[in-house]
Structure 1
Amino acid sequence: MAIDPALHRLSVAPMLDWTDRHFRYLVRLCSRGVRLYTEMVTDRAILHGNRPRLLDFDPSEHPVALQLGGSDPALLAEAARIGQDWGYDEINLNLGCPSERVQGGGFGACLMKEPDLVAECFAAMREAVQLPVTAKHRLGVDDLEDYGYLARFVEKLASVGVEVFIVHARKAWLQGLSPKENREIPELRYGWVYRLKEDFPHLIFVLNGGVKTLDEAGAHLEHVDGVMLGRAVYEDPFVLEEADRRFFGLEHRPQRLQVAQAMIAYAEARLEEGVPLWSIARHMLNLFKGQRGGKRWRRYLSEHAIRPQAKAQVLWEALEQVTKTPTLRTIASLPKLEKPLQQCS
């Protein structure tokens, strides 16, 4: 069955150490329609590690994709099967991370030099699951920066049934640049991604890299099927404030206080499970970015939520820094956010 391109119209990139289940829950409160991705999880971690810690997510996160890292077809197939059983909507393979640790494991961006192996990996995963299995890759690596090679790479994966390609519109330098520098220094070539869509109109292409606003996303959508935002969302989740109305036809426009209130309720539930408050609060630091009291909010959380025994009351106290309201429970008079839609997957 063909994949509906609308499912990938707007998404939030997988970001190591950032897009954990707590941040994804926050993003879902800001947008019901945007597609979410986990951090990259290696196949071996899933096979041998603490699966609930690695894979658990809240049902409201749907549609949510599991991003895998690995290069062994059999191990990736088993990890994909586990991800399907866990309830994910998509399995994505990381072919773009340039970090030395990832290179040392023989996966990530360095796999772009081995299209035959990558095709074997995808064939094994697609055989193992009924979910969409998608690729996230760069334009090239090191001196291997040639549109012809990129097109052949895409064609190779398409030959084993890959339909969705998330393309970070930069190449990666495997030596000499840090992961951060690899996100900033190599030249962005959006035209190459546009050209892929022209050359392979039957495939789905999602553009990633350097997109900071919904206006920019809308401009790219004139040429490709989808756009993936990354750090812009982490730096201010409310960059998605108008996303549902503009891209998904949903009448949903959250307020920051509503989202804060919902996150406090979420934190209270997770604390009962033994999750430290900072694991959640660290993702909330930018919730009031650019707003009156936003710096006070951030400073208060940074100083108090990081304490080992911190409770959810810290979040209420931080809100006082924003609202200057003596009794924080007065924000309970705000209409609560409706339960996020789950039929978008």
Structure 2
Amino acid sequence: MLDWTDSNCRQFHRRLSQHALLYTEMVTSAALVRGGATHLLRFEPDEHPVALQLGGSDPTELAQATRMGADVGYDEINLNVGCPSDRVQSGCFGAVLMKTPELVGECLAAMKAASDVEVTVKCRIGVDDQHPEEALPALLDAARAAGIRRVTVHARKAWLQGLSPKENREIPPLDYDLVARMIAAYPELSISVNGGIATLDEAEALLARGFDGVMIGRAAYHTPLDVLGAADRRIFGTDRPDADPFEIAEDLTAIVEAHLARGGRLIGVTRHFLGLFAGMTGARFWRRALSEMPNGTADDYRALVAGLMERRAA
């Protein structure tokens, strides 16, 4: 979710669900430790629970980045061993690390020793010509030996040569059954599943199969109300009313104002809101209006919300 799940996005999603665990976009340990890019760690208190997702392959550097994340208050530090993008491969981290589970174990052990904050890992079932029945257990063995207790598995292989990152999210077949077999093989691990999950119905079905959790990425971004708006009631069993998109749109004014006060452009925050009314009457009006005022003001946004409320009343 590089360039997608920034702090503005997470604040929006938190208004839809109080309990879903939110993740940052992947931040490289090199950017934090050698590049001094500490601004990438910024988050707001109302984003909790929130996990920092790190990319890297140097145990010492990842340990230092973990300490930095823990010091600013993240609830979890996650090592990404699943991203197949070209810039990730060139840096020798992400999905390419599936080829070196021993190194992944060293990285995780170093991260775990660096702070008391929980360290987790997200991986694929394999890459390129690996056999998933061998590659996934090898990764899980390394994680378990490092003292890791929570793992999220994207239930697809990643082809590092020949497929684009987008194709790697769609073309390799899903193998939920393989991941499900890992639940029995590794009872001491909490195993969540990721990949191809677009609705709460699908999430509930996977949880019923015995998965400890479900991670949803792009569907939560593009249709956030459908995925997150009823999650507290349906997944977490609370009596919190399902999110009302009109009330959410009004509440988002505070995020808009804060973003503009930091010198940002309106489109830099409202781009995350485009899918709020997906599938509903008024969705096209909402998307078009947001897209047509990239350099607007907070007053412009308030006027849009006011117009939305008038359309609702009509």
Q: Which category describes the TM-score, using the shorter chain as reference length? A: over 0.9
Question: Where do 5+ consecutive residues of structure 2 fail to align?
Answer: none
1:78 equivalenced with 2:64 (yes/no) = yes
CA-CA distance at 1:119 after TM superposition = 0.8
1:281 equivalenced with 2:296 (yes/no) = no
1:133 equivalenced with 2:119 (yes/no) = yes
Q: 1:16 corresponds to which residue?
A: 2
CA contact (8 A) 2:98 2:135 kept: no
Percent of residue pairs bearing the same amino acid type: 50
Q: 1:228 corresponds to which residue?
A: 215
Q: 1:333 corresponds to which residue?
A: none
Pick one of 228, 243, 247 that aligns with 1:254: 243
Q: Which moved more, 1:146-155 or 1:259-268?
A: 146-155
Q: Which moved more, 1:49-58 or 1:200-209?
A: 49-58
Q: 2:146 corresponds to which residue?
A: 160
Q: Aligned AA for 2:229?
A: E
Give SS of 2:271's match: helix
CA-CA distance at 1:92 after TM superposition = 0.4
Distance in 2 between the 1:299 and 1:163 partners?
Answer: 45
Structure 1 vs Structure 2 CA RMSD = 1.6
Distance 1:181 1:229, change over 3 A: same
CA contact (8 A) 1:36 1:64 kept: yes
CA-CA distance at 1:48 after TM superposition = 3.7
| CA displacement, residues 183-227 of structure 1 (integer Å, 9 cap, x when unaligned) | 000000000110010111111001000001111101101221000
Distance in 2 between the 1:242 and 1:53 partners?
Answer: 32
Question: Where do 5+ consecutive residues of structure 1 fail to align?
Answer: 1-14, 331-345
Distance in 2 between the 1:53 and 1:279 partners?
Answer: 16
Paired positions, count = 310
Q: 1:67 corresponds to which residue?
A: 53
Q: Aligned AA for 1:266?
A: I
Q: Aligned AA for 1:279?
A: G
Distance 1:193 1:299, change over 3 A: same
CA-CA distance at 1:49 after TM superposition = 3.9
| CA displacement, residues 285-334 of structure 1 (integer Å, 9 cap, x when unaligned) | 11111222210110111011x12xx2112222333553336xx9x9xxxx
Distance in 1 between the 2:142 and 2:7 partners?
Answer: 33
1:269 equivalenced with 2:258 (yes/no) = yes
Q: Aligned AA for 2:221?
A: Y
| CA displacement, residues 140-168 of structure 1 (integer Å, 9 cap, x when unaligned) | 00010231332122012201101111000
Q: 2:232 corresponds to which residue?
A: 244
TM-score relative to the length of structure 1: 0.87
Q: 2:104 corresponds to which residue?
A: 118
Distance in 1 between the 2:259 and 2:306 partners?
Answer: 22
Q: Which moved more, 1:147-156 or 1:36-45?
A: 147-156
1:195 equivalenced with 2:188 (yes/no) = no
CA contact (8 A) 1:293 1:321 kept: no
Q: Aligned AA for 2:298?
A: A
Q: Aligned AA for 2:249?
A: A
CA contact (8 A) 1:241 1:254 kept: yes
Distance in 2 between the 1:98 and 1:86 partners?
Answer: 28
Give SS of 2:79's match: strand
